[in-house]
Structures are given as C-alpha cells and as structure tokens.
Chain A
Amino acid sequence: MITAEQKPLDEIREMIAPYKRILVLGCGSCVAECAAGGEKETGMLASILRMAAKMEGREVLINEKTLERQCVKDFVILLDDIIQDYDALLSLGCGAGVQAVGDCFPEIPIIPALNTEFLGETKDQGLWLENCLGCGDCKLYHFGGICPLARCSKHLLNGPCGGSVGGKCEINPEIPCAWQLIIDRVEQQGGFERLEGIFPPKDWSKKQGLGPRRIIREDQQR
C-alpha cells in the first residue's frame, strides 16, 4: 500500500488560511490503513482546525467527508452535489488521491494534508516499512524476495557495502542491512551460490523510459 503521514499542523493552517469554506476530505483506503487519512484522522483534523479557527475568532466553515478511495474517479464523483459549497479542499489522500480529486474539480484549490511516503507494508501495530520502489521490472526472485533497490540505502545489487556490520545498515543503525537479510534468506533456501554471479545494471527505462507511466488494459475498458 501507499503510506503517508500528516503534515505539521502549522503548515496545514498556513495553506488553508486564505479560505473560508473548507471540505476536509479523507480516504478510506491505504492512508486509513496507515492511520494517516482515514475517517478517524479526518474527523480529528477537522475538529482541531475548527477549534483553532474559533480560538482566533475567525468565521470559517470546516466540514469533513471521507471517500472510499480518492484515487478512483467513480468515488470522487460522489462529491459532485456538495462541492459547490466550498472554496477549498483539504485532502488527506495520498499524492495520487489529491491529484485525482483536483482533476475532477479544477476550479477549486486542493491542499494536501499529508506527506506521501512510500510503497510499503504494515509490519506491526504502528510500524510501516518501505519495501518497493515500483521499478516496473520486479527482480525479487533473484534476491530471496527482499528488494535491494528499496531496502538497501545504496541500491546495491551485488552484495553488501563495507559498512554492513552486525546486520545493521551503516546509514542508519535503526534499520536492518537489506543485504544481510537477502544473504540469510537465500542461504536458508539452499546456499548463496546463486548470489555469486554479477548482477547487471538495473534497467531504469522500465521506470522512467517514456516519462510518467501509464497502464492501458483494453480488456478493462468500457
């Protein structure tokens, strides 16, 4: 899923300051899973902003609503009937959600309330980890199912750098060295001989060769 974290409140308040009628818009998918932009967080942010406006003695209308997905047009059009009541949207969607909503209502400024972080997994309660760069050419098979592009700080494809010590990454001792994980995993699955060949340079054209990527599936079109 896509992970995100809420922006500092001051930054949000600065961005919404010029507006008088604001819809705080949550998203019930990925950002709900990572407790950043779901219904609960949206309600909380809206009430904090209402309180702040009240304490400043400013007349601002702040309402909230949560869509099932902001990044899917079929859900975004549910706003068609209420959008005219607002002069700004504060979105708690990921970067893709913010833009999808913005594209549907180009006449209304849309403000991001979250910093979109990465493609990752929920490892534990309150712990999310980055583990995929969306490179367009998945090579996980060769690395024991652990991605060196996303999880090694230097994107190394041929083994650990000299700073890998005791299973920790030299960049940040809080994170494991991806290569230690890869070697352990591949060894567990029958010896790391398969890591002894030289892995060729990554083909980044699969990620950026034709500019921003599109997926077209005629069988899915109507």
Chain B
Amino acid sequence: MSRFKSVLDQGAFAVTAECGPPKGADPDVIMKKAELLKGKVDAVNVTDNQTAVVRMSSLAACVLLKRQGLDPILQAVVRDRNRIALQSDILGASALGIRNILCLSGDHQSFGNQPQALGVFDLDSIQFVQVVQRMRDQGAILGGERLSRAPDVFIGAAANPFGDPFNFRLVRLAKKVAAGADFIQTQCIYNLERFERWMAMARERGLTEKVHILGGVTPLKSAGMAKYMKKKVAGMDVPDGIIRRMDGAPAKTQAEEGLKICVETIQRLREVRGVKGVHIMAIDWEDMVGELVERAGLLPRPN
C-alpha cells in the first residue's frame, strides 16, 4: 500500500516533495536526490517531462526512487500520451509497485525544448482521473473491458486556486473529486488570503471531507525569482508584499528570506481547516527540503 496514503489515513499532516528526473540517462542523479529526501518526506512526486522538456521518464525515475526506499508519486501528463498509452502506463506502474499517481494535463509543448512536437491531449486531466479510478475500483478500462488485475494506486490531481475564473475553480475541484481523486496538490501558494477563500469554498461544498488537500509551496531563492514567477508563470499569484519582502533583504540573505517565508506559509497552512499536508516544490533546490521540513516543525516523519 502507499505509505503516503497511510500517513494521511492516520490523520498526520503529510509532507511531499518533488524530484525532477535528469536530462540524461544517469541514475545516480536520482539516487542522490533520494538520499536528500529520505526520512524527510512521506512521498516524492516525480515530474513527467516538466515544462515540456525531455527528461528521463517519470516511471523509470519512480522505480529508482522506490528502490531507495522512498514512496514515489508518478506524475503523468496527458500531453504526450493518448488513452491507450496512459492506461498501459498505469498498469505498468502498479505492476512495478508504484502506488501513487498524479494525473495532470501538463505544460503545453510550446514551452519546452520540443516546440515542434504534436500535443496529444486525448483525455483531459479530469477524464484521466476518472479512467484510473474505474481501472482501480471497477477493474475495467475505458469502454468497459475487464482487467485481469486492477491497479492498486492512490489517485491524485492538481488544483490551482489562483487561476481564473475564480468561481469555476471550485467546479474544477469538485469535478476532480467526483472523478475519483483521493488527494489534491495545489499550485504554489504565496497569496494565502486567496487560498483561504478557496479552501472556505471547498469546505462549504463538503469537498474537504472527500479529498486530502495538500497546499503547494515553493521557497523563493531570490527577489528576481519572485518577480519572474509573478510576471512569467501564468496562474502564479505572488503578491506585492512578498516581492517587497524579498527585495528588502540584502542579496546575500534573500535565499534565507525565501526560506523564512516558506516556513511561515507552511505554519499558516497547518492552521487552515481541511488542509491535510504540504507539497514542497523546491525547484533544483532539493537539498533545502530537509532543512525546510525541520524548521517547519514537521520532523520526524511518521512511520
């Protein structure tokens, strides 16, 4: 069974992190990241050619992490695979002992290093969640044909409380829950006020009773990074207060300021009713995850 699921079932505040596979065939990169994350988090998301840049496959990297004793979350995007390949990968992942799947749309191919690629988008992320849920619970693929054995997976989806239109964001969340998502990991939270409003609406709809919501955080390394994310990343809400705080810190201590903001965010997330954990996306900064988790008072992790 998924360790991640059992942590959530126990009612502990869960911690997940992210691991980006290398742009190469070198397994040692994964081993090193596994070393850094071991014992610090309950599960590790493995990104699937994130930002449409070609990397080692998510499934392969998940298997490497699992061998190191971590509980991987296979991220799978609908950008590159049609429904045949997606369903096949779910079966393969389960057979290899991968117990968590995060179903995503994926960044558009135009953002990456293969802008000439054909974007597949045969299913959307909500349909994908539903397909995996039916494979698991009804033992059937799309169209109803029976599986010889159903996959054993804990199913996740993403949510962005900061996208527009705001009132439809809850509809998206509700659809993901209805489709069968067991857990939700959100986009990076900097605007806590808006996140709390979104959570209040989720509670009102009874969604927090049905799904485990993990708030997403990304420690800022510099004021420049904060500004870049605000300006360039669609659907990323970095309030001016955060930018000012980062700007106010001397260049040498900006990374420390970013960590402080992140620790404070995690602490505040722990107080929000219905938030069941935190998802730390430390982009190319995996070595900070341990310290961050410790400073947020989330160590030791439950067994």
Chain B contacts of A204 at CB under 8 A? 122
Contacting pair A164 B175 (CB below 8 A): no
Contacting pair B124 A158 (CB below 8 A): yes
Contacting pair A183 B83 (CB below 8 A): no
Whole-angstrom distance between the alpha carbons of A91 and B229 in the complex? 48
Chain B contacts of A202 at CB under 8 A? 122
Whole-angstrom distance between the alpha carbons of A168 and B164 in the complex? 9
Interface string of B81-121 (1 = CB under 8 A from A): 00100000000000000000000010010110000000101
Minimum CB–CB distance from B95 to chain A (whole Å) comes to 24
Interface size range on A against B: 20 to 34
Is A171 at the interface (CB under 8 A from chain B)?
yes
Contacting pair B127 A170 (CB below 8 A): no
Is B234 at the interface (CB under 8 A from chain A)?
yes
Contacting pair A154 B108 (CB below 8 A): yes
Chain A interface main SS type: loop
Is B158 at the interface (CB under 8 A from chain A)?
yes
Chain A contacts of B105 at CB under 8 A? 154, 156, 161
Minimum CB–CB distance from B206 to chain A (whole Å) comes to 14
Give how many B residues have a beta carbon under 8 Å from the other chain's beta carbons.
34
Query: Within the complex, which residue of B125, B159, B168, B179 is in contact with A183, where a contact is CB–CB below 8 Å?
Result: B168
Whole-angstrom distance between the alpha carbons of A105 and B198 in the complex? 64
Contacting pair B124 A160 (CB below 8 A): no
Is A200 at the interface (CB under 8 A from chain B)?
yes
Is A115 at the interface (CB under 8 A from chain B)?
no
Whole-angstrom distance between the alpha carbons of A131 and B204 in the complex? 37
Chain A contacts of B218 at CB under 8 A? none
Is B241 at the interface (CB under 8 A from chain A)?
no
Contacting pair B175 A159 (CB below 8 A): yes
The chain B residue sitting closest to A184, CB to CB, is: B165
The chain A residue sitting closest to B124, CB to CB, is: A156
Is A157 at the interface (CB under 8 A from chain B)?
yes
Is B227 at the interface (CB under 8 A from chain A)?
no
Minimum CB–CB distance from A212 to chain B (whole Å) comes to 18
Is B298 at the interface (CB under 8 A from chain A)?
no
With A192-B168, A196-B174 in contact, do A162 and B158 touch (Cβ < 8 Å)? yes
Instruction: Give 29 CB contacts A-B under 8 Å.
Output: A154-B121, A154-B124, A155-B124, A156-B124, A158-B172, A160-B168, A160-B172, A162-B158, A162-B159, A162-B160, A162-B162, A162-B235, A163-B160, A163-B234, A164-B163, A164-B235, A165-B164, A165-B235, A167-B164, A171-B110, A183-B165, A183-B168, A192-B168, A195-B171, A196-B171, A196-B175, A198-B127, A198-B175, A201-B83
User: Chain A residues in contact with chain B, CB under 8 A?
Assistant: 153-168, 170-172, 177, 179-180, 183, 192, 195-196, 198-202, 204
Beyond known contacts A162-B162, A165-B234: 16 more, CB 8 A cutoff: A158-B125, A159-B126, A160-B168, A161-B163, A161-B235, A165-B164, A165-B235, A168-B234, A170-B108, A171-B108, A172-B110, A179-B168, A180-B164, A195-B168, A198-B130, A201-B127
